[in-house]
Structure 1
Amino acid sequence: MDEHHGHHQEHQGGQHGHHGGHGGHADHAAVFRDKFWLSLALSVPVVFASHMVAELFGYHVPSWAAWIPPVLGTVVFAYGGWPFLSGAVAELRGRQPGMMTLVALAITVAFVASGLTTLGVGGLNLDFWWELALLVVIMLLGHWLEMRALGQASGALDALAELLPDTAERIGADGTIEPVSLAELRVGDLVLVRSGGRVPADGVITEGTAELDESMITGESRAVRREPGDRVVAGTVATDSAVRVRVAAVGTDTALAGIQRLVEEAQTSRSRAQALADRAAAALFWFALVAGVLTFAVWSLIGDATTAVERTVTVLVIACPHALGLAIPLVIAISTSMSAKAGILVKDRLALERMRTVDAVLFDKTGTLTVGRPAVTDSVGAEGFTAEEAVRLAAAAETDSEHPLAKAIVAAADDVPTAREFRSLTGRGVQATVDGATIAVGGPALLREHGLEALPETAEWQARGATVLHVLRNGRAIGALALADEIRPESRSAIEALHANGIRVVMITGDSRAVAESVAADLGVDEVFAEVLPADKDSAVAELQARGHRVAMVGDGVNDAPALARADVGIAIGAGTDVAIESAGVVLASDDPRGVLAVRRLSVASYRKMRQNLVWATGYNVLTVPLAAGVLAGVGFVLPPAVGAVAMSLSTIVVALNAQLLRRVKLAPSSE
């Protein structure tokens, strides 16, 4: 999200976000792209018809071509220069002159001086048409690259809205079912949510029992059993059977709308961020202005007015940062394309810039450090059965079930015997006939029904927060299985590497403290926030920030969206949900948490390149401006405008080549 700078601010007067955000979206990149190509086409004849360029390369410009530079140059100034002129107005209104004002000052001075020269006013010899055209073209290129690299993210809210179904099935007083749009739903309406369907509004179940997948709201990995009288939330999915829901909240009152508001607030709250180049541009603006005024004053006193104007114009045109205009956008463009190849999608360059300062990484547990789906972690046999046999028989009984736990058990068995007469024991488990014996698999309710005690080994599993299922054969316990969310194999090395970089690792989860502590102990996490409600995830980020940490949040669920937006850097991992991806500044295509380190490496390297380029670009200006002003005129050296222009082009080339060196940085996690 670029920020990521105030996503929701309008792109005022073409100001492209240097102070207030790339408010518009991809269309701004298209605007700069079109302006760049057309201005480039118009600039080619201007450059070749210029006497200054003709003298440099030793060819003759025919007299009829004399009008090409002023006519096409004026078009380039008005058409290509418009974003900078209007952006300068916005910057000056906000009393924050920066890049836009600096560019506008240079192109306006060049335009006026060249126009007066062409018209023969005041005996000036300031033919800057080609310099004006190239300046506009290079600046448009820089802005286009920057816009394209940023990629916009105001889509977070649209993606949240897409979690809701398009229509709801309302049940009339006479029991008839009619599809209605969500806007037509009213509090008190009764709606039918079919198996596999999304709940259209917050409400209470009146009839039916279902396992609800609430992960997009709570991040909780297990489907949750909901019965009559239980509350359900808009956007969640009834996984296994249909329920009837009495609507309790619609529209902006729903939990999902609350998450939308949190995302929006967090996004706009950090649009104050300002890029490095702005500060350099602001300093250069005052430097150029002071140098211009001093040049004019000194030459007016010791020389004549014409020389004073020529020197001053040369100073102001040379002070415009061609190289500065490309210094940052080129690094951004290269780092963005490099990261994309490494499976890192940078949506917000400021997030990337900030990543190098991060000293605490907050991982959402489910789906980030863990796989996000259950797996059999332990098993035990009893009554003369081995643990493997218990798993095989359980898998046979569970073969026909669609439940996530059933799938995990089947996946854990080596070979599964065939089962007959499968049936679901509502609220207790499943039962089937295997090799002539009745095999039942279920939790505590199944044991109570048979008057059995849990196997002693299962107490420790439960203390750890695992789901415990017992396997019964003809009513006797022959084994038990523990199922828990599986920890990703890469999580350990990711955390070790972060520790090696001096970064504090914190885990946050909606799971119980027992589950959270066991995972944290296993992984070596420094701190745990457990049993955190979705709306409170971003306050956990705020708490870490209040302690003075710069926080990167790594998550994958919709409920992480506000926290991702609140963190200094939001990193969405894996295929996650669309909303998390939209709210994050950086998205990792793979599920590998080690990608967080690659983002940090890229951040450090690209920041270093940006600083080198800024030092070069501004240093070049600080040196050439006094020469153009005539500091060495006393010893007979005055920098001719043409030489200044060529030197400026060389400076731009140096910056471009330096940015290319960024490609040598290694990003793949395997290089850890």
Structure 2
Amino acid sequence: MPGYEKSGHETSGHDAHAGHDMSGHGGHGDHVGQFRRLFWIMLVLAVPTVALNPMFAMLLGYDLPDATWASWVSPVLGTVIYLWGGRPFLSGAVSELRSRKPGMMTLISLAITVAFVSSLGASLGLLAHELDVWWELALLVVIMLLGHWLEMRSLAQTASALDSLAALLPDEAARVAEDGTVTTVAPTDLRVGDLVVVRPGGRVPADGEVASGSADVDESMITGESRPVRRTVGDAVVAGTVATDDALRVRITAVGEDTALAGIQRLVADAQASSTKTQRLADRAAGWLFWYALGAAALTIALWLVFGTPEQALIRAITVLVIACPHALGLAIPLVVSLSTERAAKAGVLVKDRLALERMRTVDTVLFDKTGTLTAGEPVVAHLATAGGTTEDELLALAAAAEADSQHPLARAIVDRAAEREIEVPQATGFRSLTAVGVEATVPTPQGARRVAVGGPALLRERGLDPLPDADAWAHDGATVLHVVVSPEPGPGPHDDEHGHEHGHAAGEVVGAFALADAIRPESREAVDALHRRGIKVVMITGDAEPVARAVGRELGIDQVFAGVRPEDKDAKVAELQHDGRVVAMVGDGVNDAPALAQADVGIAIGAGTDVAIASAGVILASSDPRAVLSIIELSHASYRKMQQNLWWAAGYNIAAVPLAAGVLAPVGFVMPMAVGAILMSASTVIVALNAQLLRRTDLDPAHLASR
């Protein structure tokens, strides 16, 4: 508002699973059904293969039919099981060897190939009949397929964040033509500038601006906030959100890949494709385990050839190779990070960089940008004072009437306060904006028409009036102070001077004053207190002058305040904290904070639900709730715990189980059967998958976390 002076100013695949694809290309979602079907088919084939296998019959002590055909059931069906059921593992091994990264698939393929060759040789009479292990080959393939089916299903479930986001778009949109007729079109046919009707209960088909109507809009799928938000003319609405009670007409502003929903989908996809330090450690561990298993198998063969028989040596070596498969290890980290990404997206936390999520658990300092983050970025009436017998309602009615035709944010704040208190505002006439002074209008009152002026210090200086006693204290706290001056309606005769000021009327009387300040979000204090309880230092940075920053910092209990900082200098303040040994998470609105977000150990863009493509932030909060920072911290700790648990279980299990498979306890009479080794290996995978699924129970509700 011209003339409103302010105290201070605002400067403005996972590699280990490459072979999970039925063709060796590494897909997840569409292969769940194929793995499921393959498992059941192989299970059906495995029953006669095992039941009619001489070695299995001898093991359990039952007799087989004497017919010649019975002796060929196991070799024939076993070959089918190896070539058909083992194809995903064999093709995966080829991919690993081509990339010179032998791992899990190579180990599985080696185990089933050795079992196949030895069994085929025994069936053809080329090797000793003890090496006829068709039944173990069949069980191994079936068990491995079961493990992979369960894993594929889990990994496919992690993609549900993307699927659910895509499902938010309606199948059709109601487009309004220039002649007013409404036609049904696909959302993909919409263009920027089109007008669409969103009926009650309907979804917004593309990003846009409300052209007419007002409705409570459910934005929970985008922001994570459960309460519907009132949207009216001029407000932005996002594709996929729901008009819950009334119809809206929306002017489309973005379509297709430019919408917020598409941006969120890209972020989730990028995050699920990115890797973490822990995941890279797991990948390296899987590679080490391959050589560990290969060395253990070679040593097993050598020792059993010396102390046992060639048949025992081969069986033990196959068991070592089976039980050493780093299957659980390969699944330990990817499944955790995929689930955490999905869980975060459902809570309105969009993880763009998994490393940022991983680092968040080590953060000891959170640096908040003030405007738009801790505060709403919009002025509100913080205080008001009256004089000359005027009541607060009368003061608000006079000021709101004078400001009604102004679009300045300070004017809007006064008008909104009057509306909140349901005060009847008279219709003013003769509105004028007085350059460098304020506004003035003629307002009808019970005493007759009065000229009402609302303005800053320049208005009082021009008219020779004194400010109210409270004004100095308000200004000292950084508030913008506006006084309301009422004077009689001037009669005919006087003319405006070159500045637009009237001569010949009384200076008027000050009837009240307003203190307007940037509204502090009610959640900000809860966020600061909760961070303090977690032992995290809270710092605020702003371009505001010292008094404004100090007042906000004092009200919120901020530990340290950087005031008067230009946007281009914010990154230097982040570096200053880092130089002091702090691990810093920077929380900003993503508009002027890009350098600081990039400099911070973790950059968090807040309130970016309609602008998610912020390259400098590692984490983006779809809501404007600063408490959502607690959700990131909680998720970071929960994810790290699951990663550690899975890594220790997977790696520790393999390291301990390999000696047992090799027969280290043979001197005391215990030799692990190969089938038991296969069962234990698959059980390890299932345990890791189930442990990761517990992440779905993590409470990421900012309100709950702030109260703890």
Q: Same fold (TM over 0.5)?
A: yes
**1:366: which partner in 2?**
371
Matched, 1:75 2:87: yes
**2:524: which partner in 1?**
491
Secondary structure at the aligned position of 1:50 is classed as: helix
* Equivalent pair of 2:381/2:417 in contact (CA under 8 Å): yes
* Equivalent pair of 1:76/1:133 in contact (CA under 8 Å): no
| Aligned AA (1:48) | V
**2:245: which partner in 1?**
none
- Pick from 37, 41, 57 the counterpart of residue 37 of structure 2: 41
Q: Distance in 1 between matches of 2:624 and 2:458?
A: 36
Q: Distance in 1 between matches of 2:585 and 2:49?
A: 51
* Equivalent pair of 2:441/2:451 in contact (CA under 8 Å): yes
Give the 5 Å matches for 1:282-361.
282=287, 284-305=289-310, 307-340=312-345, 342-361=347-366
Q: Distance in 1 between matches of 2:401 and 2:697?
A: 54
**2:502: which partner in 1?**
none
Q: Deviations over 1:295-333 (max 9, x none)?
A: 233234334555434422321221113333333344445
| Aligned AA (1:441) | V
* Equivalent pair of 2:441/2:452 in contact (CA under 8 Å): yes
Q: Return the offset for 1:484.
A: 1.3
Q: Return the offset for 1:17.
A: 9.8
Q: Label 1:360 to 1:86 Cα distance change in 2 as closer, same or farther (>3 A).
A: farther
Secondary structure at the aligned position of 1:411 is classed as: helix
- Pick from 424, 427, 445 the counterpart of residue 418 of structure 1: 427
**1:550: which partner in 2?**
583
* Equivalent pair of 1:556/1:577 in contact (CA under 8 Å): no
Q: Label 1:425 to 1:134 Cα distance change in 2 as closer, same or farther (>3 A).
A: farther
| Aligned AA (1:545) | Q
Matched, 1:404 2:409: yes
Q: Distance in 2 between matches of 1:272 and 1:38?
A: 30
| Aligned AA (2:28) | F
| Aligned AA (1:353) | E
**1:434: which partner in 2?**
443
Q: Distance in 2 between matches of 1:359 and 1:132?
A: 49
Matched, 1:112 2:108: no
Q: Distance in 2 between matches of 1:532 and 1:70?
A: 68
Q: Deviations over 1:200-222 (max 9, x none)?
A: xxxxxxxxxxxxxxxxxxxxxxx
Matched, 1:652 2:661: no
Q: Return the offset for 1:473.
A: 1.8
Q: Identity of counterpart residues, as a percentage?
A: 53
**2:642: which partner in 1?**
609
Q: Return the offset for 1:629.
A: 0.9
TM-score, with structure 2 as normaliser: 0.65
* Equivalent pair of 1:42/1:76 in contact (CA under 8 Å): no
Q: Deviations over 1:372-423 (max 9, x none)?
A: 2111112233444455543332111111222222111111223123212223
Q: Distance in 2 between matches of 1:272 and 1:612?
A: 16
**2:178: which partner in 1?**
none
Q: Return the offset for 1:502.
A: 0.9
* Equivalent pair of 2:278/2:643 in contact (CA under 8 Å): no
Q: Distance in 1 between matches of 2:450 and 2:609?
A: 43
| Aligned AA (2:664) | V
Matched, 1:597 2:630: yes
Q: Distance in 1 between matches of 2:157 and 2:676?
A: 33
Q: Distance in 2 between matches of 1:147 and 1:426?
A: 63
* Equivalent pair of 2:386/2:395 in contact (CA under 8 Å): yes
**1:443: which partner in 2?**
456
Q: Label 1:17 to 1:48 Cα distance change in 2 as closer, same or farther (>3 A).
A: closer
Q: Label 1:16 to 1:471 Cα distance change in 2 as closer, same or farther (>3 A).
A: farther
* Equivalent pair of 1:149/1:333 in contact (CA under 8 Å): yes
* Equivalent pair of 1:77/1:136 in contact (CA under 8 Å): no
Give the 5 Å matches for 1:440-589.
440-452=453-465, 454-474=467-487, 475-476=507-508, 477-579=510-612, 583-589=616-622
**1:204: which partner in 2?**
none
Q: Return the offset for 1:499.
A: 1.0
TM-score, with structure 1 as normaliser: 0.68
Q: Deviations over 1:246-301 (max 9, x none)?
A: xxxxxxxxxxxxxxxxx9xxx9xx98844353464355345324423322332343
Q: Label 1:286 to 1:456 Cα distance change in 2 as closer, same or farther (>3 A).
A: farther
Moved beyond 6 Å, runs of 4+: 56-61
Segments of structure 1 that go 5 or more residues without pairing to the other structure are 1-13, 19-27, 153-196, 198-262
Q: Label 1:447 to 1:144 Cα distance change in 2 as closer, same or farther (>3 A).
A: farther
Q: Label 1:485 to 1:424 Cα distance change in 2 as closer, same or farther (>3 A).
A: same
* Equivalent pair of 2:151/2:689 in contact (CA under 8 Å): no
Q: Distance in 2 between matches of 1:430 and 1:88?
A: 78
- Pick from 125, 133, 140 the counterpart of residue 131 of structure 1: 140
Cα RMSD, aligned residues only = 4.0
Q: Return the offset for 1:33.
A: 2.3
Q: Distance in 1 between matches of 2:368 and 2:88?
A: 50
| Aligned AA (1:42) | L
* Equivalent pair of 1:564/1:580 in contact (CA under 8 Å): no
Q: Label 1:530 to 1:280 Cα distance change in 2 as closer, same or farther (>3 A).
A: farther
* Equivalent pair of 2:366/2:585 in contact (CA under 8 Å): yes
Give the 5 Å matches for 1:119-268.
119-120=120-121, 123=127, 125=132, 128=137, 131=140, 135=144, 138=147, 142=151, 149=158
Q: Label 1:622 to 1:428 Cα distance change in 2 as closer, same or farther (>3 A).
A: same
| Aligned AA (1:517) | R
Q: Deviations over 1:322-381 (max 9, x none)?
A: 333333344445544554554444454443333222211111212221122111112233
Q: Label 1:428 to 1:131 Cα distance change in 2 as closer, same or farther (>3 A).
A: farther
Secondary structure at the aligned position of 1:401 is classed as: coil
Q: Distance in 1 between matches of 2:116 and 2:665?
A: 29
Q: Label 1:526 to 1:421 Cα distance change in 2 as closer, same or farther (>3 A).
A: same
Q: Distance in 2 between matches of 1:434 and 1:29?
A: 75
Q: Distance in 2 between matches of 1:329 and 1:514?
A: 49
Q: Distance in 1 between matches of 2:538 and 2:25?
A: 37
Q: Label 1:580 to 1:364 Cα distance change in 2 as closer, same or farther (>3 A).
A: farther
Q: Distance in 2 between matches of 1:420 and 1:577?
A: 39
**2:103: which partner in 1?**
102
Secondary structure at the aligned position of 2:551 is classed as: helix
The count of aligned residue pairs is 527
Q: Distance in 2 between matches of 1:506 and 1:39?
A: 52
* Equivalent pair of 1:280/1:614 in contact (CA under 8 Å): no
**2:196: which partner in 1?**
none
Q: Label 1:564 to 1:45 Cα distance change in 2 as closer, same or farther (>3 A).
A: farther
Q: Distance in 2 between matches of 1:439 and 1:87?
A: 81
**2:654: which partner in 1?**
621
Q: Label 1:125 to 1:471 Cα distance change in 2 as closer, same or farther (>3 A).
A: farther
Segments of structure 2 that go 5 or more residues without pairing to the other structure are 1-12, 18-23, 65-69, 163-208, 210-266, 488-506
Secondary structure at the aligned position of 2:528 is classed as: helix
* Equivalent pair of 1:107/1:132 in contact (CA under 8 Å): no
Q: Distance in 1 between matches of 2:451 and 2:26?
A: 67
| Aligned AA (1:322) | H
* Equivalent pair of 1:355/1:600 in contact (CA under 8 Å): yes
Give the 5 Å matches for 1:57-76.
62=73, 65-76=77-88
Q: Please say which of residues 642-651 and 498-507 is displaced more in the overlay.
A: 642-651
Matched, 1:391 2:396: yes
* Equivalent pair of 2:49/2:73 in contact (CA under 8 Å): no
Q: Please say which of residues 477-486 and 660-669 is displaced more in the overlay.
A: 660-669
**1:21: which partner in 2?**
none
Q: Label 1:495 to 1:559 Cα distance change in 2 as closer, same or farther (>3 A).
A: same
Q: Return the offset for 1:645.
A: 0.9
Secondary structure at the aligned position of 2:522 is classed as: coil
